[in-house]
Amino acid sequence: MSVVKVRAGLMLMTAIGPASVANGAESETAKPALAVEGIPADAVALRELVAQLDQSMFEAYNAHDVDGLMAWFTEDLEFYHDTGGLLDYEQVQAGFTNVFANNKDIRRDLIDGTLEVYPVKDYGVIEIGAHRFCHTENGKPDCGTFKFMQIWRFKDGAWKVSREVSYGH
């Protein structure tokens, strides 16, 4: 399956939050939200926080841990994909499950130098960047680079992605 065929599933990502998952079990890669009192006012601290959130969320992605990955999204998630349309939490979860089942070595890496961070008053932060997805297709690496925007909500002491925009496919 080429990057073109799996790109809709590949882009179904982003978020960080508590390690709880369905059935009360904990995921192997899900981590508790980073300990912060609120939204950092300092731009450097905010950027460092978002970089940590991004890394933690995609550790679950790269481990193919659907439950761990979904723990980083709000249940009212809206995921906008330029070729896949608007998806809700359940559709995103099904998409990740399908991508991981059909692409055993798929991984995501943030492209160095692309991370942009903007605070959202009394809500959270906007994260913008580019990421690269790679898997093996017919014995050869198959990679694609795409753009994304995530809106992180800080609520009840936890950071989670409430809105995702994936584009440039």
Write down the pTM of the prediction. 0.80
Q: For the chain, what is the domain count?
A: 1
Confidence of residue 167 (pLDDT cuts 50, 70, 90): very high
Confidence of residue 6 (pLDDT cuts 50, 70, 90): very low
Residue 65: its H or E element: none
Give 21's contacts (C-beta < 8 A, 6+ positions apart): 27, 30, 67, 68, 70, 71
SS3 state of residue 126: strand
Provide the pLDDT for residue 38: 81
Domain ranges, residue 62: 3-167
Provide the pLDDT for residue 121: 95
pLDDT for 77 beyond 70: yes
Burial (CB count <10 Å: 0-12, 13-18, 19+), residue 100 = middle
State percent of the chain over pLDDT 90: 76
Provide the pLDDT for residue 34: 53
Provide the pLDDT for residue 52: 97
Provide the pLDDT for residue 114: 98
CATH number, position 149: 3.10.450.50
